[in-house]
Amino acid sequence: MSALISVKNLTRVFDVSKPWLNRVIERKPKAFLTAVSDVSFEVPENSVYALVGESGSGKSTIGKIIVGLVPPTSGSVEVNGVDLSASKNTADIARVRSDIQMIFQDPYASLNPRWRVRDIIAEPVTVLGGETEGLAERLLEQVGLSAADAHEYPHEFSGGQRQRLCIARALASEPKMIVCDEPTSALDVSVQAQVLNLMSDLREEFGLTYLFISHDLTVVQHVADMIGVLYLGSLVEEAPRDTLFSTPKHPYTRMLFDAAPRMDGFGREVDPPKGEIPDPINPPSGCTFHPRCPLAVDRCRTERPEMRRIGETRVSCHMAE
């Protein structure tokens, strides 16, 4: 399978300094937060790639960079071989951008409450000057709602139905890929399953590719082909789903597993992640996971582990074997 998205050495640094006068009075230097650090991965066409990690791991920032909401500080994102940061051809960039849509965690906040559903769904096509006659009605039926719902406003729908509206809008411009940022975490468990099943059906029907961003390994286990685990802005492990779940190699991945409730683990105690996530403005030296790692040795405190391949897994840990 060829790569639809190729992310290379992606880094994003935010300037989080206090205003100049405060810094002068308090004698403080500028402060920078590295939200994403040297992340590389590929998403093959018609596959589901999941990015997993606790909050602050940089997963949402990567999603926003890929859809063009946030520019990278360095590194590149190639979509179908077109490097979005290097290309000067605005027509090329606009075409590639319309191939990627995004759905967000809070389906209510991402729908304009003053617009009718028909206008919300058709908007991505309207801005491109395309034909929208009957489009919203058709897409509403494809996501399991009724064509008559096109006249309604978002507040007349439940949380799960609103996420279906967001999916319908994302499909309007016939994208190749949808970036899903925690698409089910605001929904009840039973509704989560319905939305995940719908996404899976749509993937088959439209040949879609998903980048699925989640903190929840149990959700990811149901949808992903490939999983990348992020910690403090860095990719620490990447493997096909079954390999990751059967033989996790990074201590952080194992910690996430112990914290996740499992369908087959009835009666098993859930072990919450240990330790605090370090301050990303002053990250630990060497391996940034070393203050929380049960396997840490002296080398881990001074030497940042390189990403290396062991079988089907890519992992950055000195002790991965």
Site residues (CB under 6 A) for ligand SF4?
A: 250-251, 287, 289-290, 293, 295-296, 300, 305, 317-319
d(CA 63, CA 97): 13
Which CB sits closer to ligand SF4, 8 or 254? 254
CB of 244 to ligand SF4, least distance (A): 15
Per DSSP, the residues of 183-227 read TTTTS-HHHHHHHHHHHHHHHHHHT-EEEEEES-HHHHHHH-SEE
Which CB sits closer to ligand SF4, 260 or 317? 317
CB of 249 to ligand SF4, least distance (A): 9
**CA-based nearest residue to 136, from 158, 110, 162, 117:** 117
d(CA 83, CA 6): 9
CB of 180 to ligand SF4, least distance (A): 28
Instruction: Decide: 239 and 313 in contact? Cβ < 8 Å.
Output: yes
CB of 270 to ligand SF4, least distance (A): 22
Helix (H, G, I), strand (E, B) or coil at 304: coil
Q: Which residues pair with 121 in a beta bridge?
A: none
Instruction: Decide: 229 and 251 in contact? Cβ < 8 Å.
Output: no
Instruction: Decide: 204 and 83 in contact? Cβ < 8 Å.
Output: no
CB of 88 to ligand SF4, least distance (A): 41
Which CB sits closer to ligand SF4, 197 or 302? 302
CA angle 172, 108, 117 (to 5 degrees): 45
Q: Which residues pair with 48 in a beta bridge?
A: 210
Which CB sits closer to ligand SF4, 251 or 280? 251
Which CB sits closer to ligand SF4, 43 or 317? 317
Which CB sits closer to ligand SF4, 118 or 290? 290
Contacts of 94 (CB under 8 A, 6+ apart): none
CB of 256 to ligand SF4, least distance (A): 13
d(CA 263, CA 269): 12
Which CB sits closer to ligand SF4, 103 or 287? 287
CB of 297 to ligand SF4, least distance (A): 6
